[in-house]
Amino acid sequence: MLFAKYNYSEVNIRMIAREAGITSAAIYNHYESKDELFKQTVLRMMNNTRSMLSKVMGEGGHWKERFENILFGLGEDLKSSPGIQILSSTTQIKMARDPEKYQAIREARTEIGQVFRTLVQEAVDSGDLPESTRIEIAGDLLMGFCFNAIGAVTLHWNSQEYMDGIVESFRNLTQLGLSDIPKRGRKSVG
C-alpha cells in the first residue's frame, strides 16, 4: 500500500497504477482524484476494523474479555496490513486540517469510538472504573491508546515477529493497578 509506504505527497496516480498493474486512466474511471482514492482506501480499512469490532461486541461476555478480543483483533490487523499505522497518522492530520472533506472518515471514527465508550460505560457499571469517569473522554482515550500507541510502537518494532509481543505488552500495561495510587490535587503553575 503506497499511502502507507510513502508520504502522501510523494504518491501519485502513476505510482498507484504501476503498483496495481493497471493504467492511470483506469484509476480515474473509478476515482476522481488521489484524495478520493485515499479516502476510499481509509474507509475500506476502517470498515474492516468496524466489522471486527462489531463481531467482538456481538459475542457478549464481560467487557474485559471483549477488550482482550479487540486487542487480539488489532494485532491481527497490524500483522496483515503493515504500514497501517502510518496511514492512520496521515488520516488524522488530514481530518484535522479539512474536517468537511474527510467527514465520512470522521463519521467512521465516531462509530469506532462508540465501541470503546461502550466498554468504558460497562467498566463503570461493573464498578471497575469510578462513577465519575467521563465516558466520552475515557472511551476516546482508550481508542487512542489502542490504535495510536500500538501503531507508534510498531513503527520501531516493525518486524512481524514482534506484533504479538507488542499487543501482549500493551495488554499487560492496561492491567496496571494505578487505581491504588492516591489522586493528587492540581498545582498552580507560575
Domain housing 80: 34-174
Give the residue, 35 or 1, on which the prediction is more confident.
35
- Mean pLDDT score, 55-64: 92
> 70-88: per-residue pLDDT in tens?
988 888 887 777 667 777 7
Q: What are the CA-CA distances from residue 39 to residues 94, 139, 146 (Å)? A: 10, 25, 22
List, for residues 18-40, the tens digit of each pLDDT value: 999 999 999 999 999 999 999 99
- The vertex-98 CA angle with 92 and 104, nearest 5°, equals 70
- What CATH number is given to the structural domain containing 156? 1.10.357.10
* 18 in a structural domain: no
180 in any annotated domain: no
Does residue 39 sit within a domain? yes
Number of structural domains found in the chain: 1
| 2 located within any domain | no
Q: What is the pLDDT of residues 167-180, one digit of tens each?
A: 778 777 776 554 45
Domain annotation covers residue 189: no
